[in-house]
Structure 1
């Protein structure tokens, strides 16, 4: 049986990955800050699917938390075959309304943790000539929209670059770029969701199924829904100046900064 390590595993996309991978017979390492919720999820998945589900309590906004996850990924006795870098969050407010400490914490989680955990996982995977990394980004990566969008754009560019560097080694990398997903994301950030149109919402379990299909097909960027594929296609055609104004208004209305 192979093992998958998932960050931000207690809810939303991370929990959906855990459910799907457990159902497919993968052992799991579940990483997040909330020990109680992690243990409950691990017990449920073990009882339902008979897989081993290890709990690793770690805050990826801290040096110690990242180091704990790196250590687990580098353990040669218990190799990890799939890394899902899913941990992330949004800040409520425009630039300069959000504290610099919160902005830097976002970069720590979205960029530094992704960089370091990808490196910790990919090295052993390259030696074994097999493995995969999914870095969860966002469709916000494709529009100019504050620190959140910029950090997710970094995830996409980083993932594509590393995928090219590791081509032919047996290690696959893919950036997953969802739109709005029904998770705890907005609630945790204190953002209302009543003004988001119903058609824009995605189901986390369906999203994960599409993402894993794209990974198996060798894609390095996955936008796993026809609605958002169409939107990202329009973004590529729109003038940059116009796009900046539209994304600024949409971001203030719907999304994180």
Structure 2
């Protein structure tokens, strides 16, 4: 079964809109795990417009499944990750003013920088995943810098899925196969939803983990958080 990591950034966005601590981000993380999530993901940005750096420190004390910290590896981010030592860090090439992630790394152009980052985090025993587009050359570049995993950027898949499912998933199948050939483990995330997740999971071989935030939290407004997490988990079960 592919593992589900719940990205709780949107919970922090709601909290920050009014100040105070409602909803309680830490309690939501505990509840997500209690409801079946196999990981918690956060993406702190420099302006702390949703996840705050203090949130990451607070969550480290309570998360009992896999803690995944993703983001653009500037100096402050690096210091935070090395202090917290999560199970996984996901390197994402976000611009500081980005609304959301919108591209993977050029692992060839930025090879030296990525190799330094991978070595830096591995020194502390942290698994490293690099956010990449579904491009076999970028997968090969990720392997060359020593990462443990890649995370496929799935927004292009989600955009094309309603009109042509097979075309939407084709490049992701090839990228997944290439990653497996090279000995890389595979994650995926961005715009995966109840509409498109099951098909993606069925067609992508060797998928270890998906990280889902916006769609899952939005669905929870209608279905409730516990029920929504169970619905997503059912999309990730492979028929025997």
What range is the shorter-chain TM-score in? 0.3 to 0.5
Max radius of gyration: which structure? 1
TM-score (norm 1): 0.36
Structure with the higher fraction of residues in helix conformation: 1
